[in-house]
Each structure stands twice: as C-alpha cells, then as structure tokens.
Amino acid sequence: MKILVINSGSSSLKYQMFDYENKTVIAKGLCERIGIANSHFKHENASGYVIDEGRSFKSHSDAVRTMIEALLDPQSPVIESLEEIAAVGHRIVHGGPYFAKPTEMTQESKDAVRKCFPWSPLHNPANLTGVEVCEKLMPGIPQVGVFDTAFHQTMPPKAYMYGLPYRYYEEHNVRRYGFHGTSHAYVARRAAELTQCDKDQQRLITCHLGNGSSFAAIKGGQCIDTSMGLTPLEGIMMGTRSGSIDPAIVSFIAKLNDDATKDVDYILNHESGVRGVSGVSSDFRDLKAAAMQGNERAQLALSMFCYQAVKIIGSYIAALGGIDSIVFTAGIGENDDRIRKTICDDLSFLGLTLDEGLNASTHGEEVLISAADSSIEVFVIPTNEELSIAIQTVEVLGLA
C-alpha cells in the first residue's frame, strides 16, 4: 500500500511517498519558492533517480502537478497510476479545539480548519491549500488532515487554561493547544514499546529540541501538559523565539519603539531566543563552536537553554507525580550529547544516571542512554513526523 504525505507551506511543498508495509520512503521531494521567482524542484526515488532543477511554480497547483508528473515519470516511475495511492496525509499545524485526532477532509472538516486560521495565519491557509489542490488533482483519493495540536487535546482544563478573563476562552478559544504533537506522539509510542515499565502507567516526558522546542508530560500514552501554548512561542527559549517571558515585557518593548520597522511579535519570534542572547546564531552547532572559543554570550545562551529545560522537566515530574522515562528527540535532542548530559546531570539528584559513553556516541540513533542502575530511563528516539502522519492516516481510514 502506498501512502503519500504532504507538508504544504506558504511557499513550499514537501512530500514523501511511503511503501506502507515496509515503512520505507520510496520517493520524496520539495517544491521551493512557490509563487516567487527562481522556484526550484527536487525529487528523488528509491532507485536513486534524481530531478534537481529550476521549475516555475506559480501556485500550489503547479507544485502538486509537478510532483504527480515526477511520481509517474516514465524514466523511473514510482507508481504507474494515481490509483495506487491509497491515501494522502496532510500535515496541518493548528486544529484548535476542533480536532483531537486525525480526520478525513470533508467540507465540514475543511471549514473547521479554516476556523483555525486566526491562530496559525502563516501555516493553516497553506496547509488547506495543499488539501484542496490534491482533492482536485487526485480525485477519489482520501485526504486526511493530521494536526500538530491534536495529541495535546487530552490535557485537562487546569493545564490548558490561562489566568485571563474567561471570556477570552469562551469567545475566542484562547487556551493552550501545544504543537509538535505528531512528533511527541511518535516518540511516545516508541518509548512505550521500548520501556521496561508498565506502559499503561508510564510517566514520560518527551523533549522535542530542535529549531523550535517543546516538552510534553505524558501519562499512560495521554498528554497531560505541554510547554507551547496558544502559539508556538511559549515554553523554553528556542533558536530565535523568546519562549516564556514576563508578559509585561511585550508592552514595555512596544512603548520603547526603538525600531519602528519591527513589531514586538517579530522581535519575539525572529530576533530572540539563543540567537538574540548570544548575538551569534540560532544554530546550536555554531553556538557550541563560539562557546568553545570563549564567547561568553554563546555560553550564557546554552546554559540558559539547559536551565530552562531542567525547570520544565522538573515541573512536569511534579505534574506527573513522578517519572519513569525521558525521551530526547529532534535536531538538538538527537544530536547534541553535551546538551543532553548537562540536562541529565542536573537531574541526577533523582537517581538519573547516564551511560556516559553511550550518550557521547549517540547521534541520531534510537538508543537507551541511561545507565543500568538509573532510576529513570533516558532514550534518544529520532522523530519521524512524516512516517507518523502516514501511520495516523492509515489508522483513521481503517486501511491497516
């Protein structure tokens, strides 16, 4: 069975075709700079056939058409006909209060995706465009929306409500939604398969540490709290995002008006985080290199990041009433053994001990990095959001 996964952004469209039985990627590609000059197409399939060239994408329809042509390309076909595609799974960023699970796209569900536009004005419209274009160009193939927010819908009200006038919740749905849900769900499921403890009782914290970073507290497979909020700005400081700050700073900066070309939203999303503090980069590899050369602000940014991570993990251990397992995933979580060690060392008072050798040698593989006598299992589990979308698509349609 072949499942196509699509991540449609405002100016790009990424896709992966899965051979579902083997869970392998048989083709993948990227249409870049849609609607902008110098658009580019990259496609590769499992036989090593590659297309990598400039193409004109005036719209998302052009991009999807090009993807279909490449999949059917007689020189190295991935499929002989579109009918071979059992379903298409679409990443959709915000499901608001409407989607607690992946959902087949119908007129009603598309209307609900549209209602979420105000909370995700950059992503949701582009995600929905991807769905609508695929409906048109691949008629009869079921289209499923898989939502970044859905996994967190099991949070209780005490975790998702903000201390604001209740009318903002009632009239505008202002509440915590959380993001990276597809990734948290994927690594949590894997951790439940790998754990030594009873998976129905497992108290787990998943740490998705990438360009954007978030944490989830998970009990018996259900999310009970997460660090991102109404938007992906809340929580730990990130590459360029501030994370949680005193909310009064927003109006303070706005009143300063020291750079009229940028609003506070822009400053908090694009000029803050480890890049803002260090003045070096949002990329942890650059920060590490700068810190090694004695750059104090790079060192400060790294230690702030680890300190905030420990505080969030500590608060989630309290929320969960204890802890059995911690998972590190995404670019930093999978690759940066120093960050993992710093965070875990600060949790050693709980009896957490790392297998230092294993931690140091683990970069992007699935490994249990805690020592045999550790009170807490610590896993590195590479995330795979595309495969997770494919699995959820198959499950919701009952195709498996």
Which lies closer to ligand ADP via its Cβ, residue 215 or residue 284? 284
Q: Tell me which of 99, 284, 316, 328 binds ligand ADP, using CB under 6 A.
A: 284
Q: Judged by CB under 6 A, which stretch of 112-120, 125-133, 254-262, 283-291 contacts ligand ADP?
A: 283-291
Pick the catalytic residue from 19, 62, 73, 148.
148
Q: Judged by CB under 6 A, which stretch of 61-69, 94-102, 205-213, 244-252 contacts ligand ADP?
A: 205-213
E strand spans, the chain: 2-8, 13-19, 24-32, 40-45, 50-54, 85-92, 103-104, 143-147, 203-209, 213-219, 222-226, 325-329, 367-368, 377-380
- b/e map of 275-311 (b: 16 or more CB within 10 Å)? bbbbebbbebebbbebbeeebebbbebbebbbebbbe
Q: Tell me which of 212, 229, 273, 382 binds ligand ADP, using CB under 6 A.
A: 212
Q: What contacts 93, CB < 8 A, 6 or more positions away?
A: 120, 123, 124, 127, 147, 148, 149, 179
Which lies closer to ligand ADP via its Cβ, residue 39 or residue 281? 281
Nearest to 93 by CA among 150, 132, 172: 150
Which lies closer to ligand ADP via its Cβ, residue 283 or residue 356? 283
Nearest to 129 by CA among 150, 152, 145: 145
| Run of H or E residues at 71 | helix 60-72
As a 3-state breakdown, the chain gives helix, strand, coil percent values, each rounded to 5, of 40, 20, 40
State how far the Cα of 98 lies from the Cα of 81, in Å rounded to an integer: 35
Strands 367-368 and 377-380: antiparallel
Closest approach of ligand ADP to the CB of residue 336, in Å: 4
Which lies closer to ligand ADP via its Cβ, residue 199 or residue 340? 340
| Number of chain residues interacting with ligand ADP (CB under 6 A) | 12
Which lies closer to ligand ADP via its Cβ, residue 102 or residue 273? 273
Which lies closer to ligand ADP via its Cβ, residue 95 or residue 333? 333
- Is 305 a binding residue for ligand ADP by CB under 6 A? The answer is no
33 DSSP 8-state letter? S
**Residues 39 and 54: beta-carbon distance below 8 Å:** yes
Q: Tell me which of 332, 354, 367, 369 binds ligand ADP, using CB under 6 A.
A: 332
Q: Judged by CB under 6 A, which stretch of 30-38, 265-273, 282-290, 317-325 contacts ligand ADP?
A: 282-290
CB-closest chain residue to ligand ADP: 331
Q: Tell me which of 47, 285, 357, 361 binds ligand ADP, using CB under 6 A.
A: 285
| Helix, strand or coil, per DSSP, at residue 334 | helix
- Is 232 a binding residue for ligand ADP by CB under 6 A? The answer is no
- Is 211 a binding residue for ligand ADP by CB under 6 A? The answer is yes
Q: Is 346 a catalytic residue?
A: no
**Residues 351 and 328: beta-carbon distance below 8 Å:** no
Binding mask 233-262 for ligand ADP (x = CB under 6 A): ------x-----------------------
Binding mask 312-331 for ligand ADP (x = CB under 6 A): ------------------xx
Q: How far is CA 76 from CA 26, 72, 149, 390, in A?
A: 12, 8, 37, 23
Closest approach of ligand ADP to the CB of residue 27, in Å: 21
Angle at 50 between CA 44 and CA 52, to 5 degrees: 105
Active site residue ranges: 148
Binding site for ligand ADP (CB under 6 A): 210-212, 239, 283-285, 330-332, 335-336
